[in-house]
Amino acid sequence: MRLDLLVCPGCRTLNGNRLDVRTLESRGEWLACDCGRRYPIVDGIPIVFKNPGPYLRSEMATVVERDLSPDVSALLVEDVPDDTPYARLLEHLSIYLDAHWGDYASPRPDPGFALGPLIDRIKGRPYVGVAVELGCSVGRALAHIEAEHVIGIDMHVGALRRARHILEGELVPYARRVVGRIFQPAAIETTLTVHSSRRTLIAGDALDPPLLPDIAERVIALNMLDSVANPRGLLAVIDGLLVPGGEVILASPYQWQSSVMEDHHRLPGADPGLALVEILRSGIGLSRPYDLEDVAEIPWTLRRDARSSVTYHTHYVRARKGT
């Protein structure tokens, strides 16, 4: 974990054009700031939010869950409503563990490795010093980012815990959804490891990541623009993390939902990808214009259960920040 790159979001302030930040220090079971704030560490994952109260109230099930066998997990949700926190957690993990790591899962899901076409675009990119992935989920992209140090940020502690164990090369059992609240055992074990000295996983807000500015030579945000309350705000965050000449990799199916963002925050038009390209090329709301290097439409299929999957047409963009 690179504590020298982590800052306290609770006391971070902007004084004119100068950003005042304080880095965090380890205190065993939590990270501490000299402002007095403390941030808990759960199963090796620091939980670092400016205002952790609302987050913990809604996500406590993912924070305090135990590593149970898939059979016991399935039994716990057998007679509870579908929308209970633990049932939702199992469904979420089933979808994204299959999508990210289906090619290393036993038994393999059908459809399998949904993230494959996007990963193919990330593989082989030039080696950089520090790379950040916002919305890293269970960590597949982190395993393919060529960097001295990779930082993964996600709001889902349950996903980050699995990412940590998978990237350490451990066998990770999970419950794969068959239909409704019926699950079957599955497990992931891979050789695509990333040593703990080369990665930092943080539970945090992609719109307010607890990171120093201007630290990354590459920032990745796959299927995130429609998953945050303010996509332009996310672009501004990415711009603030990137050094001049740094690379950004974005992908989104633009599946707008009122429960996630208000209408006025959405990128406009029948093809929001055109608006994204214009924002990057012009530098509107960013520190400078970006040069587009690769644009594509990529399929992304998520398995929900044995009888249901959904395929998105994902707009992929790779661009470089001006110098």
The pLDDT of residue 18? 73
Burial, 57: exposed, middle or buried (Cβ in 10 Å; 0-12, 13-18, 19+)? exposed
Q: CA–CA separation, 121 vs 249, rounded Å? A: 9
H-run or E-run covering 120: helix 116-122
Q: CA–CA separation, 82 vs 72, rounded Å? A: 17
CA angle 281, 240, 211 (to 5 degrees): 150
Tokens of 254: 């633009």
Q: Are 217 and 244 in contact (CB under 8 A)?
A: no
For the chain, report the end-to-end CA distance as a whole number of angstroms.
29
What's the total number of domains in the chain?
A: 1
At 217, which CATH number? 3.40.50.150
Length of the chain: 323
323 residues of the chain, pLDDT tens digit each = 898 899 999 998 876 667 788 889 999 899 999 999 999 999 999 999 998 888 888 888 888 888 889 999 999 999 999 999 999 999 999 999 999 999 999 999 987 778 888 999 999 899 999 999 999 999 999 999 999 999 999 999 999 999 999 999 999 999 999 999 999 999 999 999 999 999 999 999 999 999 999 999 999 999 999 999 999 999 999 999 999 999 999 999 999 999 999 999 999 999 999 999 999 999 999 999 999 999 999 999 999 999 999 999 999 999 999 99
pTM of the model: 0.94
Q: Are 126 and 111 in contact (CB under 8 A)?
A: no
For residue 135, give its domain range. 3-321
CA angle 88, 92, 98 (to 5 degrees): 145
3-state SS, 233-288, equals HHHHHHHHHEEEEEEEEEEECCCCCCCCCCHHHCCCCCCHHHHHHHHHHHCCCCCC
Kindly state the DSSP code that residue 23 receives in the 8-state scheme.
B
